[in-house]
Amino acid sequence: MKLINITKSLAAVLLSVGMIMTSCSTDWPSYSPTSGDVTFQASAGSFTLSGTPVTVTLQRGSASSAEAIPVTLTDKNKVFTMASTTANFTEGSYTTDVQLTYTSSALTPGKAYAFTLAIDATKVAPGAISSTFTGTALLPFVWSDYGTLSLVGSSFWDDGDVPDSYVLQTDKRTNNWYKIKNLYGGGTDAIFGVDTSTGDVTFTSPASSTYNGEEVTRFLTSCISSKYGAFSCLIRAASTGKGPFIARAASYPLPLGAYLITYNWMVVNAGYFGNFQDNFRVTALK
């Protein structure tokens, strides 16, 4: 009987303690962000341009009301335009997009264009991903066969040293970017753009290097000498004053009969053979 009484007494004490603990519990306030607290969904991203706008998404913590957040664009190349200078959240929406437009014909295919978007730091949510977004956008080449480019004259090469003709491709989006497949037979494709107002040519691939302090584009050739080894052709750039150019092209894309003239250093591992000229001609169109 005493054991039962002790058990009952203990139960009563525990019940009393439980009531005290329950009556003293507190509903602690939890943080609830306001509609003005925003962030970019990512701090960086890359885009392949296809003619449609570049879209960057922002998010916020509360959607109780509409909100317009100022956004600034930094674009040193000045190729992008914001459709709106604010990120506009509608009531009930937790996300919104900022769109950047551009003109494809004003861009250089294969070149990366960087930009930065930023929102007011005072509007950024605590623990936000980022108050800035850094983007890189690239307009890819879309190649299609265009015709045949033939080596019709050279002050260096003898017959059979290098191929006489090459597949010429053009970029579908533009009328002034071309690719020469396997130029000089060394396994490297040449990509070049033409300034249609002057005819000046700029090779962008392979990447430029230097030789004798000059900017050049280097091509290994299929010409291999038993005495000197493999020859390389270094096409001199416009910055040398003897850059490549297009002749006899009244319109673009390149017409039948147009010429590509290049000035080259011909070199081997042991040294160079001097400066020479190659004349290429568009001899067939698809």
Looking only at the bridges linking them, the beta strands covering 44-48 and 132-138 are parallel
pLDDT at position 217 is: 96
Output 199 or 28, whichever has higher pLDDT. Answer: 199
pLDDT for 125: 67
pLDDT of res. 36: 55
pLDDT of residue 128: 74
214-237 per-position pLDDT tens digit: 999 999 999 998 889 999 999 999
* Mean pLDDT rounded to a whole number for the chain: 87
* Residue 272: pLDDT over 70: yes
CA distance 94 to 67: 10
pLDDT higher than 70, residue 245: yes
DSSP state of 92: T
Which pLDDT belongs to residue 26?
47
* Burial of 116: CB neighbours in 10 Å, binned 0-12, 13-18, 19+: middle
Band (110; pLDDT cuts 50, 70, 90): confident
φ, ψ at 48 (rounded to 5°): -105, 120
DSSP for 192-250 reads EEE-TTT-BEEEEESPPEEETTEEEEEEEEEEEETTTEEEEEEEEPGGGT---EEES-S
**Mean pLDDT of all residues in 57-62:** 90
Specify the pLDDT at position 257.
Answer: 97
